[in-house]
A and B are shown apart, each in its own frame.
Chain A
Amino acid sequence: MTGALDPATRTGGRWKAREVWCALAGAVALALAVWAASTVAVPVNSDLGLVAVLPYPFWAGVLLLNVAFVVALRGDAAGPARRAVMMWLVVVLVLVLFGTAAFVADVPRGEVAFRHLGIADALSGTPGIDPDTDAYFNWPGFFALLATVLAATGLDPVAVALWAPVLNMGLWLVALGVLTGYLTRDPRRRWLVLWVFCLGNWQDQDYLSPQAFSFFLYLVVVALLLGPLAARTPVLRGHRRVDLAGWWRGRSPGDRADLMAWWRGRSPAEPRPGYRVGALVVALLLVAVICASHQLTPFMVLIAITALTLSGRVWPSRLPLITAVVLTLWLVYPASAYLIGNPPLAEAGLQGATEANVIDRLSGTAGHVLVVQIRIVLTLVLWALAAAGAVRDWRRGRLDIRVVLLALTPLLLFPAQLYGGEMLIRVSLFALPFIALQACSVLLPTKGSPRRPSVRAAGALALTCFLLAVLTVTGRFGNAQFDVFTDDEIAAVAAVQRLAPPGSTIISAAHPTPWRSEAYLEHRARTIDDMCRSDLTTATCGPLVYDYARHSPGGAVVLLTRSSEASLVLQGASSAQGFDELEAWLGAQDGVELAFSNADARVYRVVTP
C-alpha cells in the first residue's frame, strides 16, 4: 500500500538557495496580493466583478507565486523543494485566492453565510429541533456544530464566516493531500494536484456551509477507502485495450462468473485487522455525520463507495449497503418532514437539469454572461486536460481506475435533481480533486524518474497555472458587484432588525441580502424577485408586493439595497430604471413610509390596515 506521507519528500538537510528564494517569492507574492486587494473600493462597480478592479500588483503577485511554485516543484534531480517550502507556497495560494475577499471587505460575501449564522443562532436559542421550520432543520448537523463552536469559543460569528473559505480550503487540502498519497508516489504530482485543485476551485462552495463541511468529510471517507480500507484485486489486468475489448465482446454467464470470482478473490491491502476495523468505524461515523449535515453529499458518498467497492478496490464489501441504510434511515425519519413536500427525483431529468444549470444561468448583462462563460471554459479546460491525461496514462498502462471512477461518478448526480440550478456546480466540485489528479498526468512529463520538467515545460506549466488563476479569480469573484456588501448595507440590515417586530415579514428586493443572521425564526423573509419571478415590472409586481406586505400579520418591512438591485440588473431580471420605478410606486402607496435610508439602502415600513 502506498503511504500517505512520501519519504522521498525532503524535510531535513541544508536549505538550498533556490528553496530560500522560492519561499521569499511566496512572501512577496502574498504581500503584493494582500496590499492590492485592500486598496479595492467597495462597492465593486463592474459587471466582471473583482477581476476588473484588482490593481496590477495583485496579478504580479499571482504570477510571481505561480512561477515560484513551478521552480520549487521542478526542484532538482532529487525531487521538488523541501516540504516546508511547498506547504508555504500552497498556504500563500490559499490566502491569495480564497482570502482575497476578506482583504477587500470585512464582512462575508454573499447571503448564505449570514443565513447559516442565523440558523445556528436560532438552534441555540430554541428547545429542540422543529423539522417543519424549513429544510435546514431536517439536516441540522452542521448547524449544531456551529452553534456549539461559536458559543464555546466566544468567537465573532461574522469573523468566522469571513475566514471560513480559507479554513475550509485548508481542511480540504489536508484531506486531499492524504488521499493523493494513496494514489501516487510521485511527490511532484502530489504537490501539483493540490495546486491545480486550488486553481480550478471557482465553485465558491467553501463558505460557512454544510456542503463545505460535508465535502471535507467526504474526502476523508475517500482517503480511508483508498488507504486502510483498500483491497488488492487478484489480477492486475483490465487497463489494456485488448483485455477490455475481449471482456466486452464475450460477456457470457461464464465471464460473469469469472468476474465474481475475481471480485471475491480480492484481499485487504492493510494487513492489520484491528486497524481495518478502526478505519471502518471511523468511516461509518463520518457517513452518519454527513447524512445528518447535508442533503446531497450522502448520495455522493454512497455512489463513490459503491463504485470503488464494485471495482474491487474496497475491502469491506457491505459498506455500500450500510451507507444506504444509514442514508435511508435519515431520510425517512429526521428528514421526513422535508421529503413529504419534496419527494426525491421529482425534478429528475436531463433536459430540466440542463436548462436550470446552464441555459438559465447564461442570461444578464454582457459582463455577467462573460463571467459565466469563463466558469464553463475553466471547467471544460480542466476536464479536457484530465481526459488527455487519462489517455496518456492508458497508453502507458498506468491508468488508475479509482481516479477515473471518482472523477466520473459525480456526473450521475446531474440529472437526478435540479438542486436550485446548482447541481452542475456541485458535480464539478465533487469531481475536481480527481480531475486535478488526472490532469497532472498531462501537465508533468512522462519520461524520467522522478519526472522533472524541463525548463521549457516548467515555463509552460507556470503560464498555464497563471492563466488558470486568472480564470478562477474571474469566475469565483465574478458576482462581486452584488455579493460584496458595503457598510451601509450592513447598517440597513441592522436597522431592519430594529424596525421589524417579531412576527412581521421582511421583504428584500432579491438575493443576495446579508440578512437573517439574527432572529431567524422571528420573521418571515421573502424577496420581490421570488414573488414576481416572471414579471418584475411595476404594473404587475408592484401591487403583488404591496398587497402581500399590507396583509402580512404583524406588518412588513421592505429593504431595498444597492446589491440586490445590482443582482437583478446583472442577471437580467430587471433594469435600473424599472427597479427605480417599482420603488417609487411602492413608496407612494398608503401605509408605506420610509423609515431608514443611507447611500446604499432604503428601508420602508408597511403598516397593516
Chain B
Amino acid sequence: MSGGGVTRPTLALGLAALALSVATLIGLPTPLQAVAATAVLVLLPGQAMARLTQVTDLALSALLVLALGLATLTAVSTVMFYLVVWSWQACVITMGAITILACIARARQEATP
C-alpha cells in the first residue's frame, strides 16, 4: 500500500502505461517495439479495466484482460477511423490515457473504505 491509500499494483500499472506509451511513440528496435506496443495497446488497458470490475476469479480475470484490451482497442480505432483522426500514435496515446484513467478510478475505489 502506498501513502495515499493506492495499492502498488495500481500505481505500477499507471506508471507502466505512461512509460511504455512514451517508449512506443519514440520507437524501439523491432522485437521490443512489438512487445511494448502490445502491452500499451492491449494488456495494460485490459488489466486496468478488468480490475475495475471487481473480478476475483483468476481465470476470468485473465480472460477479461485480453477481451477488454482487444475490444477497447477495436472500439477506439474504429471511432478514430470514422472521425477521420486515426493514426497509430493517436491510438497509443488514447489507450495510455484510458489505462491511466482506469487506474485513477481504481485508486478512488481503493481509497473508499
Contacts and interface: CB of A to CB of B under 8 A. Distances in A.
Partners in one complex: yes
Contact of A217 (B37, B71, B82, B91): B71
B60 A178 contact: yes
Contacts of A154: 30, 33-34, 37
Contacts of A448: none
B100 interface: no
B59 A282 contact: no
A63 interface: no
Contacts of A292: 74-75, 78
Nearest to A170: B66
Contacts of B54: 272, 274-275, 278
A129 B30 CA distance: 29
Contact of B91 (A152, A171, A288): A152
A154 B27 CA distance: 10
Contacts of B70: 145, 213, 216-217
Contacts of A282: 49, 53, 64, 67-68
Contacts of A285: 68, 71-72, 75
B22 to A, nearest CB: 13
B88 A148 contact: yes
A272 B53 CA distance: 11
28 contacts: A4-B57, A4-B59, A124-B86, A127-B84, A129-B82, A140-B81, A144-B80, A144-B86, A148-B73, A148-B77, A152-B33, A154-B30, A154-B34, A154-B37, A155-B34, A174-B66, A178-B60, A178-B63, A217-B70, A274-B54, A278-B53, A278-B54, A282-B53, A282-B67, A288-B75, A292-B75, A293-B74, A334-B82
A274 B92 CA distance: 29
A149 interface: yes
A220 B88 CA distance: 26
Measured as residues with beta carbon below 8 angstroms from the partner, the interface class of chain A is: 35 or more
Contact of B78 (A144, A151, A213, A217): A144
Nearest to A171: B66
A89 interface: no
Given A128-B81, A144-B78, A275-B55, A151 B71 contact: no
Nearest to B78: A144
A141 interface: yes
A154 B62 CA distance: 25
A594 interface: no
A3 interface: yes
B58 A5 contact: yes
Contacts of B74: 141-142, 144-145, 213, 289, 292-293
A216 B77 contact: no
Please indicate which of the listed interface residues A4, A148, A175, A181 has the most CB atoms of chain B within 10 Å of its own CB: A148
Contacts of B82: 128-129, 334
Contacts of A142: 74
Interface residues of B, number: 38
Interface of A: 3-5, 123-124, 127-129, 140-142, 144-145, 147-149, 151-155, 171, 174-175, 177-178, 181, 213, 216-217, 220, 223, 227-228, 272, 274-275, 278-279, 281-282, 285-286, 288-289, 292-293, 334
A123 B81 contact: yes
A4 to B, nearest CB: 4
B52 interface: yes
Nearest to B63: A178
Interface string B25-62: 00000100110011001000000010011110111101
Contacts of A174: 62-63, 66
A142 B62 CA distance: 21
A140 B30 CA distance: 27
Contact of A177 (B37, B59, B67, B68): B59
A292 B64 CA distance: 19
Nearest to B91: A148
B34 to A, nearest CB: 4
A174 B88 CA distance: 28
Nearest to B60: A4
B63 A148 contact: no
Contacts of B10: none
A293 B81 CA distance: 13
B99 interface: no
B59 A149 contact: no
A220 B67 CA distance: 7
Contacts of B67: 175, 216-217, 220, 282, 286
B68 to A, nearest CB: 6
A178 B41 contact: no
Interface in B77-113: 77-78, 80-82, 84, 86, 88, 91-92
